[in-house]
Structure 1
């Protein structure tokens, strides 16, 4: 049965994406709205360098012109309902990608592990799941909540190190990556004791 994104995963993603009902430029200047919903990569506007969408808002004239040129069914500002719809649709691909991962036989992800990987995938794109560090993490049976049996202190450290390496993706987002790694370890016999990029 497929997993769905849990409350912790939604909260983590939303806390890092910023939120605006008005169109704004993302860090690359691409027009964005809601919780990081990318409108298009065919046009660029003011780049966001602070993480606060209000610092790179499009003018109403720019937003209306963008809506007209792309034949969008909406313009700035959107409704909160539309923002929630975008968020659900945008996270759906990341949810599907994590659900489609091939895990070792008999292993399954906990809700926290699933949510952490969805957040990583939502932010980094599906290619992040194909990195050697994520593959190594997923191949290690002791990482899973469903693993039956004891784990030695060395094995727990191995789990912690694999988590740290898997979430060391995009040095500009160290705080987010550490929060995702901490969520991944929630409820497990190992902890996120090695901050990302520390190994």
Structure 2
């Protein structure tokens, strides 16, 4: 099976929805985070981010310095842009590996858009999301893959659209992101993302 790298569309989608800050901030659970959702540690909790805007849950400089010292991080808030870029590369590599490691039906392969969409889903939901029944059902369906010869019948196309919708129906709080991922997954496909997530 081919080993893909994260494409521009996938990277842009992740960055768009993760939010960005060079300063330490609390994620939705209060865990200290920096850059594009890079988790610093789960050993401490600060103000929870409830708006999606990192600026609404920034750690004070004193909190950031104390955290950095206690964990011997070697950096504190704010980090540099190059450090943020490095964290993004490290974090996306985990999701890229998880998607590359998937077992697909014999002879089947992702398009770049399909791969990118699944990496975004995995980056956000963790590798376990790839093991859910709905994702596995989509991956097992040969018509999902673009190199499958010949046109799809309307019924076959509809089945693919439904499988994609269900596969990306993960975390009701993130419907906008999930619909954008599903749309990316269907880019240039013989089927479309015509059933928004959580509508089936």
TM-score tier (shorter): over 0.9
Secondary structure at the counterpart of residue 62 of structure 1: helix
Match of 2:160 in 1: 159
Aligned residues: 199
State the Cα deviation string for residues 161-199 of structure 1 (Å, max 9, x = none). Answer: 000000000000000000000000000010000000000
Match of 2:71 in 1: 70
- Distance between the aligned counterparts of 2:151 and 2:104, measured in 1? 20
Give unpaired runs (5+ residues) of structure 1: none
Aligned-pair CA distance for 1:124: 0.3
- Distance between the aligned counterparts of 2:147 and 2:76, measured in 1? 46
The runs of at least 4 aligned residues of structure 1 exceeding 2 Å deviation read none
Provide TM-score, normalisation by structure 2. Answer: 0.99
- Distance between the aligned counterparts of 1:179 and 1:73, measured in 2? 36
Verify the 8 A CA contact 2:151 2:190 in the aligned structure 1. no
Secondary structure at the counterpart of residue 34 of structure 2: strand
Match of 2:12 in 1: 11
Aligned-pair CA distance for 1:149: 2.1
- Distance between the aligned counterparts of 2:123 and 2:25, measured in 1? 19
- Distance between the aligned counterparts of 2:27 and 2:151, measured in 1? 46
1:160-199 maps to which residues of 2 (within 5 A)? Answer: 160-199=161-200
- Distance between the aligned counterparts of 2:92 and 2:147, measured in 1? 25
Match of 1:21 in 2: 22
- Distance between the aligned counterparts of 1:174 and 1:184, measured in 2? 15
Once structures 1 and 2 are overlaid, which stretch shifts more, 109-118 or 146-155? 146-155
Aligned-pair CA distance for 1:73: 1.2
- Distance between the aligned counterparts of 1:138 and 1:178, measured in 2? 18
Match of 1:92 in 2: 93
Provide TM-score, normalisation by structure 1. Answer: 0.99
